[in-house]
Amino acid sequence: MENNIREKEIIIENNNIVNEIFGRLDENVNIIKEKLNINILLRDGKVKLIGESENINLGEKLIYDLIDIIKSQKRLNKHDLLYSINLVLNGEEGRISELLNEIIMVTASGKTLKPKTLGQKRYLNAIKKKDIVFGVGPAGTGKTYLAMAMAIRAFKNKKVDRIILTRPAVEAGESLGFLPGDLQEKVDPYLRPVYDALFDIMGADHYLKYLEKGLIEVAPLAYMRGRTLDNSYVILDEAQNTTNEQMKMFLTRIGFGSKAIITGDITQIDLPRGKESGLKNAAHVLKDIEGIDIVHLSPIDIVRHPLVQKIVVAYEKHESDK
């Protein structure tokens, strides 16, 4: 085994790139060592990789991917590092460059929005090309947030006249009359995550201005019945909690010049026992219809705390074992 140990030197002339690769107190290098089973040293301005041949090859591919990331965005965060390692281990090195130059928009706070995984890029491409897109996957994959960003971009570019955001209020059984207050106060608890995303992307002032003019509408799914939604960007969130009847009702509201994005996680269905999820059913019934795309995101597309990915995988394994 010792005979298979070798060294590889990579010259990186930019000190900022070296510092970003190594990370604060060498935290990035320690992650790479653990994941790829190689040793990484910095000597005389050269990054030296030490390990078995196969691992050295993976390490070299990873370093060049990380250099591309740092050149593009000046820094290397933990998600980008871990995702790059995953790509290299799966033989997809070099594909990280596909994510670096695609900017969706700049948020009100100045944050640049771009896809962070290949799954997210596939989802965005589907949204650009198709009028109805289902984004199905676990929490943290950016399904709703990216859909909203694309809706706001289309609205700002005058491709649609308004944005409509809706979700089923399952906990209230869609019967909101018994709750105190006006309509807005009744539905606020169920739509709060939607508001939070809108505020983050648009800024509170712009959101309130468009809301007052009726150009942005946030409402429970029950209020979509009997309407025709023309020239609109419509997002149905938490669609796993729709019934078959509600899903059919929603999809048949779509009018001319409109686009609909339906998002949900079929592992988090809150419907009463015995009720089939409209999202689950629609993904099967509509899978072969031209003009409709169903994009499945996976735990590798989760862009929250690294532990979230592990939690989702653990629960999926538990359910499959049962």
Q: Which CATH architecture has domain 2-100?
A: 2-Layer Sandwich (3.30)
How many Å apart are CA 139 and CA 144, to the nearest integer? 10
95-103 contacts at long range (C-beta below 8 A, 24 or more positions apart): 96/65, 96/68, 96/69, 97/65, 97/68, 100/68, 100/69, 100/72, 100/73, 101/72
Per CATH, the number for 105-321 is: 3.40.50.300
Higher pLDDT, 23 or 189: 23
* Distance from C-alpha of 224 to C-alpha of 260, rounded to nearest angstrom: 13
Please report the DSSP string for 168-228 in residue order.
--GGGTT--TTSSS-HHHHHHHHHHHHHHHHHHHH-HHHHHHHHHTTSEEEEEGGGGTT--
Decide: 165 and 217 in contact? Cβ < 8 Å. Answer: yes
127, 147 Cβ separation under 8 angstroms: yes
Q: What is the dihedral of CA 14, 17, 18, 22, to 10 degrees?
A: 170
Segment 87-118, tens digit of pLDDT: 999 999 889 988 988 889 998 888 889 999 99
* pLDDT recorded at residue 173: 44
Query: Same CATH topology for 2-100 and 105-321?
Result: no
Write down the pTM of the prediction: 0.86
Ranges of each domain in the chain? 2-100, 105-321
Q: How many CA atoms lie within 13 A of 19 on its CB side?
A: 6
- Tell me the residue type at 55: N
Strands 46-52 vs 112-113: parallel, antiparallel or unpaired = unpaired
Reported as a single tens digit per residue, the pLDDT across 192-201 is 777 788 888 9
